[in-house]
Amino acid sequence: MRILSRGPTTGVFGAVAVAFSLLLAGCTMAPDHYPRKGDVKPHPGVARAKTLPIHGIDVSRWQGEVDWNSVRDAGTKFAFIKATEGGDHLDPAFNRNWAGAKAAGVPVGAYHFVYWCRPAAEQAKWFVQHIPTDPDALPPVLDVEWNGHSQTCPKKVPRDVALEKIKIMLAELERHTGKRPIIYTDITFHEEVLRGELNEYPFWIRSVAAEPHERYSDRQYALWQWTTTGRVPGIRGDVDRNAFHGSEKQWMAFLDSTQRPGAAPARRIAPDMAPPSGAPPGLMPPAAVAEVEATASVRSYLPF
């Protein structure tokens, strides 16, 4: 674009205006807490995830050999590791990843991928048979989603059957670990099965093209998987990146109350407090968070 000059005075004021605009842009630009990490295919709809202070990853055999010290040094605050699937599959990298993350000091938890063609009791038994009863571990995760790409079980089961299976496995995981499990799910499965259900459990939800409140109706959540094409030092290739939905203080309370038996109840965001003007529902900045004691119906490690 060609700009016509109107003399030195206009030029000075123009330069000042440009400088002021850049200053304002810098003030309003939210920080990226993890500049050493990246995303091969960043989506503008989830850019705000980078401003959340607590980030972690989830891994399985597909990430290959992981340098957990480098993962830790990049600021990773937690890692969920695939342990089992169905009633007879153990992820071949589980024990190596678990030991490596623990040795590096990365808070770690295990997850089970549900196979809908296997009885729930058998799956729960298989999972607890392979995960350590570690008092310092994060709560176990039950990964529930349809798997249309499966060669042996691509079908969907009726909603009531899916819910029954889920409840059986959740109860067994809690009995085994002493910690209420986290439910991981995606948009489709949540809409078809979980909407309005199991509100007493913490949720970890996948939303890689929009913020969670745009995809999940009235769902409080603890963790947000915001990309599957992340890059993290210590891992070759893509890795899922996740963010904790809360402040650093809430994260520390979450860790403290999950890791120490009999710990005092953590605190949570008051469910009836409206977000500040312009903020997405349920995504309140730390300064606007109202903390109240968790009730008996909400377990101590629920951050919300």
Looking at the annotation, which residues are catalytic?
145
Looking at the DSSP bridge assignments, the partners of residue 56 are 242
Long-range contacts of 90-94 (CB under 8 A, 24+ apart): 90/130, 91/60, 91/61, 92/61, 93/59, 93/60, 93/61, 93/63, 93/64, 94/130
Alpha carbon distances (Å) from 66 to 27, 61, 131, 267: 37, 10, 19, 34
Task: Tell me the three-class secondary structure of 223-288, residue by residue.
Answer: EEEEEEEEECCCCCCCEEEEEECCCHHHHHHHHHHHHCCCCCCCEEECCCCCCCCCCCCCCCCHHH
Phi, psi of 47 (to 5 degrees): -60, -30
Task: Find, among 269, 232, 278, the residue nearest to 250 by Cα.
Answer: 269
